[in-house]
Amino acid sequence: MNAPNHDPSLFTGLSAFPLTPLKDEAVDEDAFIGLIERLVLAGVDSITALGSTGSYAYLNLDERARVAEVAVESALDIPVFIGVGALRTKDVLANVASAEAAGAQGLLLAPVSYQPLTENEVFELFRTVTESTDLPIVVYDNPGTTHFTFTTELYARLAALDGIASIKIPGKPASPAEWDERIGQIRAAIGNEVTIGISGDAHGAEGLIAGCDAWYTVIGGTLPDQTLEITRAADLGNAELARDLSAELQPLWDLFAQFGGSLRVTAAIAEHLDLVGPNSLPLPVRDLDAAAKCKVAEVADHLDLA
């Protein structure tokens, strides 16, 4: 396997995924800057703009270029990674160029598609992008949105490409022993120079305890303090504390399950905390209804989320 052309430690710890709030169907730059500044003050390890939580798939090339620019400008010395996934490879490469121009320190790439992609098509996408840029790349394995399932064998093929820095794996219910086995299998396949990041916030603690290097977190983009506590506990080897802190947030994980994912719930929490305005999601995606927002607000107040 080739030596990395990047610092693997860049892709460790907590990477927070902020919303890209909209106002009247345009990016609400003031609200977005506020979210980024909140993450800087909390001291997150990195910021990933234009992930699924950042509604990247709904924004055009110019909007994405501007969001990348604002994210980097507002993040001060916090490393910023930019999501570059798109339906066509030419648009992916355009997003790569705008991320480079903005000063991003890494890229997040998902195999976005309408027609189902084959493993070879996904591999060629990543090969093409790694050959087009010197920026390190996070492989975005998110079958819930892309409907593509990575195999461990594909992880290994991708990890051998120059420029692949991290693999963001989906979380799922599993026992601690099953987590240990899964992370061990991936580590054996990809080696030690590519980091493993956990996603699926309800499983963040277990993934970190099992040996994941990073937590790529949705809710961390809005609630960085709470997710940093879990991350730091796991980093220090205090599995009991990490699990306890995650268990305290179980009502939030339950909301994600009840309302079909994290995006609408996260937007509702951000609105409840006056971080974004109403109707901040890109149509046709809509906010939760009034009754659901009330339930989210009750949970947020009960957990003292701020």
What is the predicted pLDDT for the residue at 54? 97
Q: How confident is the model at residue 1 (pLDDT cuts 50, 70, 90)?
A: very low
pLDDT tens per residue across span 39-63: 999 999 999 999 999 999 999 999 9
> For residue 5, what pLDDT band results from cuts at 50, 70 and 90?
low
Query: What CA–CA distance (Å, rounded) separates 60 from 37?
Result: 24
For residue 39, give the amino acid letter: L
What does the pLDDT read at residue 4?
58
SS3 123: helix
Residue 2 has pLDDT above 70, yes or no: no
Q: What is the mean pLDDT of the chain?
A: 96
Instruction: State pLDDT tens for residues 96-118.
Output: 999 999 999 999 999 999 999 99
**Is it the case that residue 3 has pLDDT exceeding 60?**
no
Cα separation, 43 vs 24, whole angstroms: 31
Residue 8 has a pLDDT of 80
**Residue 32: pLDDT over 50:** yes
- The reported pLDDT for the residue numbered 306 is 78
Which H or E element spans position 206? helix 204-209
Would the pLDDT of 286 be above 70? yes
Task: Return the structure tokens found at 305.
Answer: 């989320």
Q: What percent of the chain has pLDDT over 70?
A: 98
Handedness of CA 42, 48, 49, 55 (dihedral sign): negative
Secondary structure of 210-244 as H, E, C letters: CCCCEEEECHHHCCHHHHHHHHHHHHCCCHHHHHH
